[in-house]
Structure 1
Amino acid sequence: MTRPLAAFLLAALVGCAAVGGAEPPPATPEPRRPFPQHVTYVAPALSPSLPQATLDADVLAYYRVWKERYLVPAGEDAAGRPLYRIVHSLEKPDETVSEGMGYGMMIVAYLAGADPEARELFDGLFRYVQAHPSDVDPRLMGWIQPLDGQGNDSAFDGDADIAYALLLANRQWGSDGAIDYAAAARTRLQAIAESTIGPASKLPMLGDWVAPGGRLEEGLKYHEFTPRTSDFMPAHFRAFRAFTNDPLWDEVGAAIQRAVSGLEESYSPATGLMPDFATPEHDMGFPLKPVAPNFLEGPHDGDYDYNAGRYPWRASTAVLLYGDAFWRERMDKLSHWAERATGGDPAGLNAGYHLDGTPTEGQAYFTIFFAAPLATAAMTQPDQQAWLDALYLAVRDRHEDYYEDSVTLLNLLLLSHNYWAP
């Protein structure tokens, strides 16, 4: 099938791999990397045992539902250009978070070529981001809209994914159009570096509201050594390094490896699980330990819960795109533990675990949020074909809510070999 005909058919179905440098390509009305891309990942890398055409169709079918449910118009800017946003929850349709905007921008950039509206949607999403800056560092996005009465500040993951999506857009469409994606990415990456990377720790901070310094005995609860482990995005940091040529991103990559190594050695040697949040063992600095309950979000803040469940996705991306040996070893332990813990049946996955592998109480139910990232982890392990296939079949056509569906769709892009580095 020729590429133009394939793109036409894929667009009808929707109903609507190389790392680059810093120089933006010329703008083009057509995507340079239209879906599907069929990226060859760094070997050894498994694929679900289904035809490639089926994997592509699964992504497109999932995207069609995701787009209908969660990507909504949000008015116009002062120049009359349309804005779009991602709904935070089906139960709270008026709410949007920066995390969702990052997910949405990445997804739309990857689906360009299949969705003829992709560029318009991407630009409208980014204009919404620009229209809702943080009060702390206005180069970043305020994490929740409308404001919740607890301040207007940023969340690291949202801005990091927004920056990555801008790099994707730069490669997809060029930066000579209505939005200079490359310039916008540089601005956001500079802000992330200056306002949300610990100057001493080199770890991602929770957001621009966190004061980097201080001492524990002075009562500082949140600081540069209290990261969210799902903010450990090694593939993103590699792409940021390639784009900016800034060695800071090498330091960030080394720091998250140090944090993960210490946590795994002391708290999850048999499982490789990470806590939602970590804090220093003693004074400011390494090694880190899991936080106590109710550190920031709830009683499972020190467990492998609804933040850390994204960790296998972030780590596996670095393995599949870059062949990173450190993260492959981490996924070796975690993915094999997960298969043993469930007897190879995804239905046996608990919605959260203590770091020793015992299920957290009151969460004995299956959710695609935990299963989809574990599927990408299984891709990195040559002896886990059956486990990968079981996980894939469990998530490919199941929909829950914004958070679970967005994470699953991004993992489906990886699982189908359609997730590429900018």
Structure 2
Amino acid sequence: MRYLSIVFLIAAAQGALAQTPAFPFPHHVNHAFGSIRPDHRSQAQLDQDIREAYARWKTAYLRSAGTDGGGNPVYRVLCNTDGNGNTVSEGQGYGLIIMSVMAGHEPDAAVIAAGLWRYVDRHRSGIDSRLMSWNITAAGQPQQGNDSAFDGDNDIALGLLMAAAQWPAGVPVDFRAKALDMLAGQAASVMGPDSKLPLLGDWVTPNGASYNQYSVRPSDFMPAHFLNFSAASGAPVWKAAIVATRTAVEHLQTTYAAGTGLVPDFTVREAAASSLLKPATAGFLEGPHDGHYNYNAGRAPWRLATHALLHADADSARQARRIAQWSATAAGGIATNIRPGYLLDGTPITTTYFTSFFAAPIGVAAMTSPTQQSWLNAIYDSVRTRQEGYYEDSVALLSLMVMSGTYWDPVAIDRIFADGVQRIAP
């Protein structure tokens, strides 16, 4: 009996050790040489801002979803708080990334991350079962089609790789194995075979008439994610995606938004035989602003700048900087003058309200420009304590993590440079 007690104690200790994060919050990373961070608050204050923003996010949006067949806890992220609320794959991805960053501060991070994965596992796409069904009702049923959305699966896959870096022992879930399985599904089902661009989801046929490998969402261009996927899986599609998305953004910015750098929510082919993209027309998929810088494209500055900051990529830095520099002029240096959506020429869609969703990603982009210190500080202050809704608060929290230097990814976290710095072009 005493022998069994010792065995149980050893097993419990090993389990606790396995769930101890390798990079507990706050784990600060070095950003590319020539970049900036908010300089009006100390690092300790920046870290505390993240703790407080995380506490608001967790209280508002993280929910238990019962247990699985083995009695293990399952968690989901609410995408709205009306009644019980739906859950979307994008929210599960955001949740996995947030838990991986906050591990060490959040004592149950490993358990919650595993529970978020179990919810993904419970709700697989009916087309490629390695991916997640993108929209699930509070009752656990697929809504608006039992198929995937690229952005959600992409963040889930990165979140799983981050969780694998935090808990490499594979307890309570073998996060790395789950990530590689999802990446295989993405490579097979949601990457354009010719365009090398991300499809909207596994419901899209690469050469379809209305929706195809060129009818894409530029906010799905996540080069830092693709770099991590390449390192983890070795699949060549991810390096090709970095090149293809970089080329696509450059063309969109210089051809259709030369004075602003803005990109549209959705694109289509310029011509039948062309591989170049142009903004979609109104009503292409979601509404009248499908060809404008709206509630999808607003994430683009954050995605581009994260690649520039963590991986010293000069192209992403240049592309993010275009948006940041235009926005400072357009808003007159007043962060709350950032408008909720624009035509690509910079005309505001509306001037009736301010939202952190559009401001926070521009703050990340401002980090790539040493001349924009006051603009970065102003944006940071405009969003750091703001609370709105699931989408706005999730994007703002992730953007604040980058601005504070507490966000990392597996490739960047322990990279050693010969001279100790990363460089991006001025």
Aligned to 2:102: 111
TM-score when normalising by structure 1 = 0.91
Please name the residue that 1:3 is paired with: none
Deviations 1:220-253 (A, max 9, x none): 1111111111100010001111111222111111
Deviation of 1:332 after TM superposition, in Å, equals 2.0
Is it true that 1:42 corresponds to 2:32 in the alignment?
yes
The structure-2 alpha-carbon separation of the partners of 1:64 and 1:74, relative to structure 1 and needing over 3 Å to count, comes to same
Q: 2:276 corresponds to which residue?
A: 287
Distance in 1 of aligned mates of 2:306 and 2:198: 18
Provide Cα deviations, 1:327-349, integer angstroms capped at 9, x if missing partner: 11112211110000000001111
Task: Determine the structure 2 residue equivalent to 1:223.
Answer: 212
Alpha carbons of 1:149 and 1:96: their partners in 2 closer, same or farther (altered >3 Å)?
Answer: closer
User: Where does structure 2 lack aligned partners over 5 or more consecutive residues?
Assistant: 1-16, 411-426
Alignment partner of 2:117 out of 118, 123, 126: 126
> Displacement, 1:92?
5.2
2:178 and 2:119 map into 1 onto residues whose CA distance is: 14
C-alpha separation in 2, matches of 1:155 and 1:52: 36
The question of 1:359 aligning with 2:348 is answered: yes
Match of 1:185 in 2: 179
| Displacement after TM superposition at 1:91 (Å) | 2.5
SS at 1:223 equivalent: coil
Q: Give unmatched runs, 5+ long, in structure 1.
A: 1-26, 215-219
Residue of 387, 390, 393 corresponding to 2:378 = 390
**Distance in 2 separating the partners of 1:256 and 1:114:** 35
Between stretches 368-377 and 254-263, larger displacement belongs to: 254-263
Q: Contact between 2:150 and 2:220, CA under 8 Å: does it hold in 1? A: yes
User: Residues 188-207 of structure 1: matches in 2 within 5 Å?
Assistant: 188-207=182-201
For residues 150 and 396 of structure 1, do their structure 2 counterparts lie closer, same or farther at Cα, with a shift above 3 Å needed? closer
1:152 aligns with 2:131: no
Match of 1:342 among 331, 344, 354: 331
Identical columns (%): 47
Give the partner amino acid of 1:396. Answer: R
1:77-116 equivalences under 5 Å are 77-91=68-82, 93-116=84-107
DSSP-derived class of the 2:33 partner = coil
- Shift, 1:175, TM fit: 4.0
Q: Is 2:362 the partner of 1:374?
A: yes
The answer to whether the Cα contact below 8 Å between 2:19 and 2:172 also exists between their aligned partners in 1 is no
For the 8 Å contact 2:133–2:142, the answer to whether it is kept is no
The alpha carbon displacement at 1:150 in A equals 3.3
Q: Secondary structure at the match of 2:370?
A: coil
Determine if contact 2:111/2:172 at 8 Å carries over to the other structure: no
Q: Give the length in aligned residue pairs.
A: 391
Post-superposition Cα deviations, 1:193-224, rounded to whole Å, max 9, x if no partner, equal: 0000011111000000000114xxxxx11111
Q: Does the Cα contact within 8 Å between 2:221 and 2:303 map onto a contact in 1?
A: yes
Asked if structure 2 preserves the Cα contact closer than 8 Å seen for 1:166 and 1:185, the reply is yes
The correspondence of residues 42-61 of structure 1 with structure 2, limited to 5 A, is 42-49=32-39, 50-61=41-52
Q: Distance in 2 between matches of 1:238 and 1:204?
A: 14
Match of 1:275 in 2: 264
| 2:400 maps to 1:412 | yes
Deviations 1:248-304 (A, max 9, x none): 111111111121111112100111000000000111542111001111111111000
CA distance in 2: counterparts of 1:364 and 1:226, whole angstroms = 31
Q: Contact 1:278–1:302 at 8 Å: present in 2 too?
A: yes
Separation in structure 2 between the aligned mates of residue 132 and residue 115 of structure 1, nearest angstrom:
26
Matched-pair contact (CA < 8 Å) for 2:191–2:198: yes
- State the partner residue of 1:165: 159
RMSD of Structure 2 on Structure 1 (CA): 1.3
TM-score when normalising by structure 2: 0.90
Q: Please state if 1:64 is matched with 2:68.
A: no
Specify the alignment match of 1:32 in structure 2.
22
- Note if contact 1:369-1:404 (Cα within 8 Å) is conserved in structure 2: yes
CA distance in 1, matches of 2:225, 2:326: 26
Runs of 4+ in 1 over 4 A off after TM superposition: none
The aligned counterpart of 2:415 is none
Deviation at 1:178, TM superposition (A): 3.2
In the alignment, the residues of structure 2 paired with residue 148 and residue 76 of structure 1 have an alpha-carbon distance, to the nearest angstrom, of 19
Name the CA shift for 1:244/1:111 in 2 (closer, same or farther; >3 Å): same
Q: Which amino acid aligns with 1:316?
A: A
**In structure 2, the residue corresponding to 1:383 is in which secondary structure?**
helix
Residue 295 of structure 2 is matched in structure 1 by 306
Counterpart of 1:323 in structure 2 is: 312
Counterpart of 2:6 in structure 1 is: none
